[in-house]
Amino acid sequence: MNVDTGVRLRVARRFDVAENIVAFELEAANGMPLPAFEAGAHLEIDCNGQARHYSLCSDPADPMRYMIAVQREADGRGGSRYLCESVGMNDLLDVRGPRNHFSLVPSKQAPLLIAGGIGITPMLAMAWTLHNAGQRFEMHDFATTAERQSFKTELASAPWTSSLTRHIGRCDDFVPLVGGFEGRHLYVCGPFAMIDAVLDAARAMGWPSEFLHVERFAAPAPSSDAGEALQPTLNTAFEVELASTGLRIAVAADQTVCAALADAGVVIPVSCEQGVCGACLTRVLDGIPEHRDWLLSAAEQSAGDVFTPCCSRSKTPLLVLDL
């Protein structure tokens, strides 16, 4: 199986794990072992013509199945509705991956995992990985209501359940949970406001940025209907150059780089269009990107050697891309 060209997977099982959350167990249509993945990885799934990304939440040690969980978003862009409403047992899905932008960092210290809502999905794979390695960890999961708390049955019998604390209701102060910095890594995934609250608490307690690891499933609500990346009053035009051919393409003030490339016949993978998923991540060979993503760390943004053309722009008149 080639993770770049994609593979067809069969839905071996689907089941509800919480209110508006459906889990899908996937296996290779030909019955062969699946490509290995590391905790934090995601799949890109063709949802009726739309590419959508879903975190793998199964045990990475199991070579025969993947599991994802999908939260149905009534006002979303259609991917979750398609999977939850139209995909059933034995249906086939076209999938790319696994790919990972949220890896565990090797450490002897017990990591702290904090999840909110559907953000529990990558944390489950992390918990399995840490348990299989015999490493201690501390995991906290938050749900707004008991009905929205996912995987109750499955986690009740997990061999690492003693490391998990489940919370119902909103947490107004994460400082006691995070505590002072003691050399361990913190991983957080969940609603945007919760992630920011956790990060604020950790920074207030002296946690260095390199020990804080985040995965966001969505960007915050834009400040205008068009979103900052498409407001001409905030943007300036610039050019991108394709390193492979030398072709220069103009990017208008009211246009994304991905759109300008597509108009020129250059198509790159795009999914979230918010700088969250990493599908469009592109190497920058020259020039200085203006990062507007929610994917890259501060250090990665400062390095300036990759950017997300779905939303990010340029601080210089020209960006040379590894395309």
pLDDT band at 210 (very low <50, low <70, confident <90, very high): very high
Q: What is the pLDDT of residues 215-240, one digit of tens each?
A: 988 766 654 444 555 555 578 899 99
Last residue of a domain, one of 186, 215, 244: 215
pLDDT at 226: 42
User: Does residue 222 fall inside a structural domain?
Assistant: no
Last residue of a domain, one of 67, 100, 133: 100
- The Cα–Cα gap between 41 and 31 comes to 22
For residues 75 and 169, state if they share a domain: no
For residues 192 and 249, state if they share a domain: no
User: Does residue 1 fall inside a structural domain?
Assistant: no
Residue 14: domain span? 7-100
Q: What is the pLDDT of residues 64-75, one digit of tens each?
A: 999 999 998 877
**CATH number, domain containing residue 281:** 3.10.20.30
Last residue of a domain, one of 77, 100, 123: 100
For residues 122 and 198, state if they share a domain: yes
**CATH number, domain containing residue 173:** 3.40.50.80
Counted domains in the chain: 3
pLDDT band at 54 (very low <50, low <70, confident <90, very high): very high
Q: Does pTM surpass 0.85?
A: no
* % residues pLDDT > 70 (the chain): 93
Q: Write out the DSSP string of 54-72.
A: EE--S-TT-SS-EEEEEE-
For residues 209 and 252, state if they share a domain: no
- Give 108: exposed, middle or buried? Use CB within 10 Å, 0-12, 13-18, 19+: exposed
User: Does residue 220 fall inside a structural domain?
Assistant: no
